[in-house]
Amino acid sequence: MVLNEVYTGAGLSATMIPEIEFNLSDAFGSNINSTGNFCLATTDSQKSITWTLTSEPASNRLVTDIYKGCFAKVDKFNSAGADQATSQTLIITGNTANKIQFNAALSATASDVYKCTILAYGTPLYAPSVVNSTATLLADNWLGLVNTITPPTIDAEMKQLNLALGGTRNFGFQLKGAETLGEASIDVSLNNGSWLYYALGKMTFTATTGGDDLTDGASNGDVYYHDANSQIYRYETSLLPPIVRSQNQNTYKKWDEGKIVYTITEQNSGDLPSFALEITNEKGNTTYAADSEYDNHFSRIFTGCQVNSFSMSFEEGQDVKASIGAVSRKAHNAPAAYIPKRNVTTPSSLFNYSDTDTNNPYMFSDGTIKIFGQTMARIKSGTLTINNNLMPQRFIGNYDRTITSTHIAGQRTYDLQLSLLITDRTIWDELRKKNETSDTDSTDELIELEFAKSDDDKIVLKFDNYLTTSVDIPFPDDKGPLEVAVSVSPRTLNLCEYHGKWIIQG
């Protein structure tokens, strides 16, 4: 019996779900008197907005309570579609398949209608149903060449109390307080630059031009980009974004699968981009169908994941590896009818899985490193670490003890560790300098790291304003070459670029 079978490591899978701002009313609403405003109606004493579920396959269902605690921007229109110039940002207290609930009345007029935009943080993107009558998320995104992954642990604060009426030496009452999630750990052989976006926070991109307009026809899985707002999206039936019905679809161009150049920059506010992780355990030879008793598989969805630390390491003769530490906002138990990975059963069918050359990791032999105004040719290994020092915060009114309200980024730090053979005393002189090394108009003294599979697939990082903080020069017993350990602390990011085919939805 399947019930008696055990879950094994062979049945473990992990995929990513993008978290991006999306407009529910453009996705599911009705056009009000042909004004071009797609809006949703209100119910429950104007404390919720709702829509009618479509017939099978049901493409406009949400996973129940997945958006509890998220923020939504609500704009009010009257029944004729006229903008009432009233906008509120509210916390979602819960959701069903076709209803978003709030903690306050949206209007005193029952006939008013609304635009509702759910903001990005903690908001895994929904997806059209792949099996009738089931809600699902866009959980078919490949994580890359994952070597190991450790999901967040859950720690619940224990409340153990003695009551005034005793009669026993045992506690008289106990309950669980707020849940705190531990840090997820993802170790990958690095084959794309997407993690740098999540670690640093902002990006723009330049895609290959000349693609077809969206109105020329689209197929599921196609990628479109928007020149004006620097957004890039997947096309899926009834999935918004990318298809914003109230906007001119001609502004969206189809990606022709050529190189995309991402320019990644530092986000200096306290907010970083987030993503969700779907972790699924399943038994052998299971089919992806509704599993009402959780006999065959169960899924957990960790929402609001943000990169707290990113460490990229390179060692002679090896592939470039990265370790990602990510904090999470909430652990959501997928409902019984949830279909994991959007019914994708083979890795090659996951989104962002590409050709072999693109999937291959960057190699140590593909790299070049420049520091102190010269190319360092005798580096044996190194590690670049970015720390965001994220701090969890809980606020009144998040409507669930299992939810962390937000994570606010603290001091950002960069650290570069190198092991190399020295040929001169430059490193020693840099250690003794009082002031930091900076790039000026007359010098070229940036720290430059580049790993390239080809001109069309590479990662380029440049740092400025750096101090050499330690130089360990040993006295070797074997009288061989001196292998020196060097620590460098850059203060500012000068450039971060990723050239490649990986689609970053942010």
Query: What pLDDT does 293 receive?
Result: 58
Query: What pLDDT does 1 receive?
Result: 45
Query: What pLDDT does 13 receive?
Result: 87
**Cα separation, 153 vs 150, whole angstroms:** 8
- Find out whether 180 and 157 touch, Cβ atoms under 8 Å: yes
**Cα separation, 60 vs 389, whole angstroms:** 38
Phi, psi (degrees; rounded to nearest 5) at 333: -80, 120
The three-class DSSP label of residue 487 is: strand
- Find out whether 302 and 277 touch, Cβ atoms under 8 Å: yes
Instruction: Name the residue type at position 60.
Output: N
Instruction: Name the residue type at position 216.
Output: D
N residues, the chain: 506
Encoded tokens for 346: 């083979």
**Which of 69, 72, 74 has its CA nearest to residue 107?**
74
Residue 481: cis peptide before it, omega within 30 degrees of 0: no
CA 218 to chain CA centroid, Å, is 25
State how beta strands 297-315 and 330-333 pair.
antiparallel
Residue ranges in the chain modelled with pLDDT below 50: 1, 240-243, 246
Partners of residue 333 on adjacent β-strands: 300
**Cβ neighbours for 456, distance < 8 A, ≥ 6 positions apart:** 258, 259, 499, 500
Place of tokens 């006229």: 82
- Find out whether 273 and 195 touch, Cβ atoms under 8 Å: no
**Which of 309, 300, 264, 257 has its CA nearest to residue 282?**
300
pTM, two decimal places: 0.92
**Cα separation, 136 vs 449, whole angstroms:** 40
- Find out whether 438 and 445 touch, Cβ atoms under 8 Å: yes
**Cα separation, 248 vs 331, whole angstroms:** 38
The three-class DSSP label of residue 501 is: coil
Encoded tokens for 218: 């689209």
**Cα separation, 187 vs 258, whole angstroms:** 28
